[in-house]
Amino acid sequence: MAIAYCEQVWHYGKFIPWAEATVHVASHVVSYASCLFEGIRCYETPQGAAIFRLKEHTDRLVNSCKIYRMELAYSREQLAQAMVELVRVNKVKHCYIRPVVFRGYGEVGVNPLKNPIEIYLLAWEWGKYLGAEALKQGVDVCVSSWHRMAPNTMPAMAKAASNYMNAQLIKMEAITNGYVEGIALDPSGHISEGSGENIFLARDGRIFTPPLASSVLPGITRDSVMTLARELGCEVSEQALAREMLYIADEVFFTGTAAEITPIRSVDRIVVGQGKPGPITKKLQERFLSIVEGRGEDKYGWLTLCNQPVVAER
């Protein structure tokens, strides 16, 4: 996708032009992928631009940095406020926000500890990640030959750029073979997630999703969907799931900041259910979109309006 970027980028308390947000080729991140990041959607609502679950995304970014021993010069509240300011300064109604924290130009070598830590906040306008019609019609996917990393090799709970080298292999294989997306298995052969999405299955009225132990990123949208499913009276189980569950499920769908709630209509060319979004998927999708688009009650306080100040927690 081409980037319809926002002109101003936040860097250590100042806004700079997009073209000036550059990194030296000898920076640690280039050779060693020492980068943690987030993906956050800001939606257009009748009340103005609103960032979805800003606190939870900020918390996950800070936690990812903690795992990789990156000490940040800004508090969670300061980072959250800076993202609100990013939306205001760029005067956008909706956008995709990308905070990145990485080790910059300093020493060369695997040891990253003496390299400076850089923080940038950037944004761009981004459409539907898996295609314009994906939310309505569903997508065709495959089970990838590439597995997710074992938990004692790379921390899957950290949203690290290095993890997305694995994701790229999954995505490229799927596209090359005529699919929109791939689903990876964990090291034990159980269902894990897509290249950039969590996954849910519905069978006999119950909803299932892989546990974090299956090399799963703790998705913010994943958590939101589990909350909404229980609100709708559905039982949700986090458990290890055999690959064949994908073929016999009544419904399968992806969740993610970029993917939102995207139905899956076939896996490995085996039709899921009726080959179209099922009733549970549609109910969850409608409830989710009604909240983020400002049409429904935001009773969980998930939206942060950018025309109002961020209230620091005590």
Structure letter (DSSP) for residue 10: E
Each residue of 137-196: pLDDT tens digit? 999 999 999 999 998 999 999 999 999 999 999 999 999 999 999 999 999 999 999 999
Give the whole-angstrom CA distance, residue 265 versus residue 140: 6
Query: Does residue 148 sit within a domain?
Result: yes
**Do 118 and 213 fall into the same domain?**
no
Pairing of strands 236-238, 206-209: parallel
> Which of 91, 125, 159 represents a domain boundary (last residue)?
125
Can you give the pLDDT at residue 309?
60
Structure letter (DSSP) for residue 85: H
**Do 212 and 265 fall into the same domain?**
yes
Query: Does residue 47 sit within a domain?
Result: yes
Query: Does residue 292 sit within a domain?
Result: no
**Do 177 and 250 fall into the same domain?**
yes
**Do 146 and 56 fall into the same domain?**
no
CA nearest 34: which of 42, 20, 45, 23? 23
Can you give the pLDDT at residue 314?
30
Each residue of 276-300: pLDDT tens digit? 999 999 999 999 999 999 999 999 9
Catalytic residue annotation: 159
Predicted confidence (pLDDT) at residue 128 exceeds the cutoff of 80: no
**Do 147 and 101 fall into the same domain?**
no
CB-based burial label for 234 (10 Å; 0-12, 13-18, 19+): middle
Residue range of the domain that includes 251: 134-277
CATH number of the domain residue 187 falls in: 3.20.10.10
Q: How many domains, the chain?
A: 2
**Do 173 and 271 fall into the same domain?**
yes
Amino acid at 259: A
Give the whole-angstrom CA distance, residue 173 versus residue 18: 32
91 sits in the region (left: phi over 0; alpha: psi -120 to 50; else beta) called: left
Predicted confidence (pLDDT) at residue 310 exceeds the cutoff of 70: no
**Do 147 and 273 fall into the same domain?**
yes
Residue carrying the six token digits 């983020």:
292
What is the average pLDDT across 82-91?
97
> Which of 125, 150, 181 represents a domain boundary (last residue)?
125
Each residue of 209-240: pLDDT tens digit? 999 999 999 999 999 999 999 999 999 999 99
Query: Does residue 79 sit within a domain?
Result: yes
**Do 109 and 138 fall into the same domain?**
no
**Do 67 and 162 fall into the same domain?**
no
**Do 99 and 141 fall into the same domain?**
no
Each residue of 234-282: pLDDT tens digit? 999 999 999 999 999 999 999 999 999 999 999 999 999 999 999 999 9
Beta-bridge partners for 121: 10, 99
Predicted confidence (pLDDT) at residue 312 exceeds the cutoff of 90: no
**Do 181 and 268 fall into the same domain?**
yes
Query: Does residue 304 sit within a domain?
Result: no
Query: Does residue 303 sit within a domain?
Result: no
What is the average pLDDT across 71-95?
97
- Give the least confident one: 30-34, 55-59, 64-68, 124-128: 124-128
CATH number of the domain residue 63 falls in: 3.30.470.10
Can you give the pLDDT at residue 313?
44
**Do 103 and 172 fall into the same domain?**
no
The model's pTM is: 0.94
